[in-house]
Structure 1
Amino acid sequence: MNPVIDEIIQEMLRVLDNSQLLQLKQVLQQKLGKASANQSDTKNETYISDYLAAKQVEGCSDKTIKYYQATLTMMNSSLKKNIQKVTTEDLRKYLGDYQESRNSSRVTIDNIRRIFSSFFSWLEDEDIIIKSPVRRIHKVKSSTKVKETYTDEDLERLRDSCKSKRDVALIDLLASTGMRVGELVHLNINDINFEERECVVVGKGSKQRMVYFDARSKIHLLNYLSSRHDNNPALFVSLHLPHQRMSINGIEGRLKKLGKKIVGLQKVHPHKFRRTLATNAIDKGMPIEQVQKLLGHERIDTTLHYAMVKQSNVKIAHRKYIG
């Protein structure tokens, strides 16, 4: 951009909206002999499609891309405005109406805000708009809810409720590795290194990392695999013919069914094993950076969010260091 035009645009950022800034920029470019192609005829759907393509190149999963697409498409359908004319007030009203009509949580609304922020920042980087209208929409504060973890007794009761070697091995592997259920379903038998008690999983963004399991998991996994008589390479398969690879829904459904057999143990979910591992690791003194590596988190803030330090340990630490 011409330095003079750049300086003028910067001076007018607080006064004009995106549409007006773009018109001003075009006039200045024309007068200074640097006319550019007019982007006002480009459809919003094209911008959204190009943005999603960029996120895909960055390594976002198909599930994330679909969530972004649904969120941005819904916003576009509701506002019915050229993307360059969308204002901060438009987006604030949209978020408020969305929350009220769906009784959405603050976490949900902030997730939508983050997607808007990413999208409009991309538009800004691509010189499609001058400034992002999301700049003045701040993070939505939400109360921190301490999420439950499994106790050692819970895990033993879950194992006792199992009627198959597969289910015992499944619980042990989730509990000792803390891997995501989406990572677990893609594992094959050949991926498991029993000698070193480790395996490589493919996490979010197709990133690989090493996870480790304990001796109990190794024994129960070997017992389960020796009981199988199928040729499926998958690590976990259905109990009945044709012994297909277990899906995410299949594992979630199985754990939920096992949990219903146990009095006082509600909502058994694979992600709770992951949170339990993180909490126990931190409580026992594992450095947070190593827990982050173990769980495959990009940001350490995410690890701290997953791992809730037990109140009993806080009390012990208070007596030890403060008195």
Structure 2
Amino acid sequence: MKEQFIKSVEEAVGGFLSQGQIAKLSEVLSECMQGYELTRKETSDEKCKRENGELLQAFLAAKKIEGCSEKTVHYYQSSVEKLFVNVVKNVTDMTTNDIRNYLAENQRLKNLSKVTIDNLRRIFSSFFAWLEDEDYIPKSPVRRIHKVRTDSLVKEVLTDENIEILRDSCIELRDVAMIDLLSSTGMRVGELVKMNRDDIDFQERQCVVFGKGNKEREVYFNARAKIHLKKYLNSRNDDNPALFVSLKSPHRRLTISGVEVRLRKIGRIANIAKVHPHKFRRSLATMAIDKGMPIEQVQRLLGHVKIDTTLRYAMVNQTNVKMAHRKYLT
């Protein structure tokens, strides 16, 4: 830093002093600065960026302690950092209009869906609410930004016939076992790929999974899944502890993308559109509620913290609504 300062002085006086005078000035400056530490003063933009970054890191640390997954923490970080880039202010000075305009511009320029915009709003709400709780700001500016109303679309589910066709389209024992486990437990694909052979209790037809935030819970599978899981595991000759592995040597643990690609391929063979792991989960929730399982038990089965999430997953069969109306209201 000292050398940079002296060089800057030399350049500044270069048009007024001779080379000899500049050399002497540099020598005097170097001697006078012995024993001193020179630091460059931050610009206002640099200070703002540093302070915002420090607060964000503290917030992310709090989220990790709360049990948020690395994926969720990364989503929080990237979303808030983009806000910092577009709204060049200290977070303590950001207003409701700053954030509202940022969301509106994102929706207009990037043509983002209402769901995506509301996800951003929720992330900013969490961040600024934390700043308020920690006394960095008196009141969150996101409080006055209301939930974005999204279109309520009835999402497709897999029928019993669809699942049978998918099974019949499988060539490998692994794929049949995977479809049976997903359709009978409703587990997340992230939970599926983390499972080991030892997690399966064939006697009780249940298994332990680790959900979001590494929360452990039990899920249950049917007799068909038990039979096909046993057949698949008995056919393996590798020593990988993972429950589902790749078909080819060295038989590595299946990844989320690996499962998604495989199910899409089976869906194409079966001529069934949009086959993905989450569709099995939504189908199970719909079927469970449709058959009368209490919503609280469905919530526990799926591992949801809030019952509102369970209600979003489950779409009650319209025919049964019609029958219930005739039974109770006519």
**2:311 is the counterpart of 1:304:** yes
Shift of 1:48: 0.6
Moved over 3 A (4+): 39-42
TM-score, normalised by the number of residues in structure 2 = 0.85
> SS of the residue aligned with 1:144?
coil
**2:152 is the counterpart of 1:144:** yes
Choose from 240, 243, 249 the match for 1:235. 243
**2:42 is the counterpart of 1:49:** no
TM-score, normalised by the number of residues in structure 1 = 0.86
Shift of 1:321: 1.4
**2:214 is the counterpart of 1:206:** yes
| 1:220 paired residue number | 228
In structure 2, C-alpha distance between the alignment counterparts of 1:206 and 1:322, rounded to whole Å: 45
Choose from 174, 180, 205 the match for 2:188. 180
Choose from 108, 117, 122 the match for 2:116. 108
In structure 1, C-alpha distance between the alignment counterparts of 2:221 and 2:314, rounded to whole Å: 19
Shift of 1:257: 0.3
Aligned partner of 1:227: which letter?
S
Choose from 303, 309, 313 the match for 2:320. 313
Shift of 1:131: 1.0
| 1:246 paired residue number | 254
| 1:164 paired residue number | 172
In structure 1, C-alpha distance between the alignment counterparts of 2:315 and 2:131, rounded to whole Å: 37
Confirm or deny: 8 A CA contact 2:205 2:221 kept in the other structure: yes
Change (3 A) 1:174 1:41: closer
Aligned partner of 1:43: which letter?
E
Aligned partner of 1:262: which letter?
A
Please give the residue correspondences for 1:253-292 in structure 2 after superposition, counting only pairs within 5 Å: 253-263=261-271, 265-292=272-299
Shift of 1:43: 1.1
Aligned partner of 1:232: which letter?
N
Gaps of 5+ in 2: 1-46
Aligned partner of 2:115: which letter?
V
Shift of 1:143: 1.5
**2:142 is the counterpart of 1:134:** yes
Aligned partner of 1:52: which letter?
L
Output one character per residue of 1:7-54: Cα deviation in whole Å (capped at 9) or x when no partner. Answer: xxxxxxxxxxxxxxxxxxxxxxxxxxxxxxxx9896101111110001
Output one character per residue of 1:192-229: Cα deviation in whole Å (capped at 9) or x when no partner. Answer: 00000001100001111100000000000000111111
Output one character per residue of 1:47-88: Cα deviation in whole Å (capped at 9) or x when no partner. Answer: 111100010010000000000000000000110111111011
> SS of the residue aligned with 1:209?
strand
Please, what is the CA RMSD of the aligned residues? 1.2
Aligned partner of 1:236: which letter?
F
| 2:4 paired residue number | none
Shift of 1:318: 1.3
In structure 2, C-alpha distance between the alignment counterparts of 1:318 and 1:132, rounded to whole Å: 45
Aligned partner of 1:122: which letter?
W
How many residues end up aligned between the 2 structures?
A: 284
Shift of 1:283: 0.6
In structure 1, C-alpha distance between the alignment counterparts of 2:97 and 2:329, rounded to whole Å: 49
In structure 2, C-alpha distance between the alignment counterparts of 1:276 and 1:129, rounded to whole Å: 44
In structure 1, C-alpha distance between the alignment counterparts of 2:143 and 2:328, rounded to whole Å: 43
**2:68 is the counterpart of 1:60:** yes
> SS of the residue aligned with 2:162?
helix
The structure whose Rg is larger is 2
128-137 vs 69-78, which moves further: 128-137
Change (3 A) 1:78 1:320: same
The percentage of counterpart residues that share the same residue type is 62
In structure 1, C-alpha distance between the alignment counterparts of 2:109 and 2:270, rounded to whole Å: 37
Output one character per residue of 1:161-206: Cα deviation in whole Å (capped at 9) or x when no partner. Answer: 0001110000000000000000000100011000000011000011
Shift of 1:130: 1.1
Please give the residue correspondences for 1:80-91 in structure 2 after superposition, counting only pairs within 5 Å: 80-91=88-99
